[in-house]
Structure 1
Amino acid sequence: MQRPTVCVGALVWGTDGRVLLVRTTKWRGRWGVPGGKVEWGETLLDAVVREFQEEVGLELHDVLYAQTQEAVLSPEFHTEAHLLLVDFFASTSGHDIVPNEEIEEWAWVHLHGALDYPLNTFTRTLVELALQRENL
């Protein structure tokens, strides 16, 4: 029996106030945020910290839950999948990216400028949430 896969991701601010966007092999050319699958026995927080380190080589701090989304058979994703996406906001003090094999391209951008990128639907929702919180 197939079950949904739990994944984590984070919209992360660098020390200069810009956020990190990445283009990966998994979202059909669309841009998103670093993240991946939660492993058995791993907390969501531990998973997002580990995935960020693995994918871009940076450490996270000030990790804050943002939202949960569901991607059910999304045509944007590279394979047929049912994903439960747990999103976070976080900060990092590093700036130099050490990409793993999944990261094709990356950019540090101002939050408002992130919407100019061809974001996957789920990252667009996360950026819009960040913009709403910024305007509170």
Structure 2
Amino acid sequence: MDRPLVCVGALVSDGDGRVLLARTTKWRGLWGVPGGKVDWGETLLDAVAREFREETGLILRDVEYAQTQEAVLSPEFHKPSHMLLFDYFARTDSVQIMPNEEIAEWAWVTLEEAASYPLNTYTQTLVALAQRRAM
């Protein structure tokens, strides 16, 4: 029997008022934040740190829980999927991205600029939360 996938992602700040957005191959051309599936036996925090290291080369610090979302058969995702999305806020000391094959494009932008990008709906929610918190 299929079960929901547990996934993590983070809206990461560079310390200069900018956050990292990425366009991946999995969201039909929409922009979002790096992240991915939690491995068996891995904590959510370990997973978000690993996913960022793998996808961007970034080392995260000050990782803080933001919200949980549920994506059930989202037409924005490249295949039918049921995901539980654990979102975080974090910081990094480097803006040098070393993308893996999943990252098609990336940009460091202000939260105001982020809202003007073609974001997937789950990232729109995360950016709106960051704006309310004045990240």
Q: Do these two structures clear the TM 0.5 threshold for a shared fold by scoring above it?
A: yes
Question: 1:17, 1:58 → 2: CA distance?
Answer: 17
TM-score scaled by length of structure 1: 0.98
1:52 maps to which residue?
Answer: 52
SS in 1 for 2:95: coil
Shift of 1:134: 1.2
SS in 2 for 1:94: coil
Question: 2:129, 2:7 → 1: CA distance?
Answer: 19
Question: 2:123, 2:88 → 1: CA distance?
Answer: 11
Contact 1:65 1:89 in 2 (8 A): yes
Residue identity matched to 1:116: S
Sequence identity (%): 71
Contact 1:32 1:119 in 2 (8 A): yes
Structure 1 gaps, min length 5 = none
1:42 maps to which residue?
Answer: 42
2:86 maps to which residue?
Answer: 86
Residue identity matched to 1:106: W
Residue identity matched to 1:7: C
2:126 maps to which residue?
Answer: 126
Shift of 1:15: 2.7
Structure 2 gaps, min length 5 = none
What is the aligned-residue RMSD (CA, Å)?
Answer: 0.9
Which runs of at least 4 in structure 1 moved beyond 3 Å after TM superposition? Answer: none
Question: 2:16, 2:68 → 1: CA distance?
Answer: 27
2:71 maps to which residue?
Answer: 71
